[in-house]
């Protein structure tokens, strides 16, 4: 009998709910200092996880949790880009990898 594998869990930066890693979106601060949505989960840099929900992005933005998690100041332009990418990711049916 094969041993059961442990499912990696991550906490959403916006709503603080703990979910399986595969159900989350990773937002990463690259070594160059840019902030990007990491749909593969393999980009190099400091990462933070969020639910694939625009409401979680709004909560994280309102409380500046993403900036604290990534140890960087997230600009309004970056927030807009992240929210747009999240909406496109959801519309594409990518909510579950």
pTM for the whole structure: 0.81
Q: Does any domain span residue 41?
A: yes
Count of the separate structural domains present in the chain: 1
What's the confidence (pLDDT) of residue 95? 47
Q: Is residue 62 part of a domain?
A: yes
* Inside any domain, residue 2: no
Looking at per-residue pLDDT, the higher value among 96 and 68 belongs to 68
Give per-residue pLDDT as tens, 9-57. Answer: 999 999 999 999 988 889 999 999 888 888 788 899 999 998 888 888 8
Range(s) of the domain holding residue 49: 9-91
User: Residue 97 domain-assigned?
Assistant: no
pLDDT for the residue 55: 85
DSSP string, 2-21: PPPPPPPEEE-TTT--EEEG
* Domain of residue 83, CATH code: 3.30.1230.10
Question: How does pLDDT run across 71-90, given as a tens digit for each residue?
Answer: 998 888 888 888 887 788 77
DSSP-assigned letters across all residues of 60-92: HHHHTHHHHHHTSPPPHHHHHHHHHHHHHHHHT
Asked if residue 1 is part of any domain, the answer here is: no
């Amino acid at each position: 009998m094969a041993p059961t594998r442990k499912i990696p869990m991550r906490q959403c930066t916006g709503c603080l709910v703990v979910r399986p890693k595969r159900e989350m979106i990773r937002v990463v601060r690259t070594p160059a200092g840019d902030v990007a949505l990491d749909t593969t989960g393999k980009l190099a840099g400091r990462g933070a996880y969020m639910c694939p929900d625009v409401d979680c992005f709004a909560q994280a933005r309102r409380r500046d949790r993403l900036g604290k998690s990534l140890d960087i100041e997230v600009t309004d332009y970056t927030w807009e880009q992240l929210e747009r990418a999240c909406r496109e990711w959801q519309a594409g049916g990518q909510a579950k990898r």
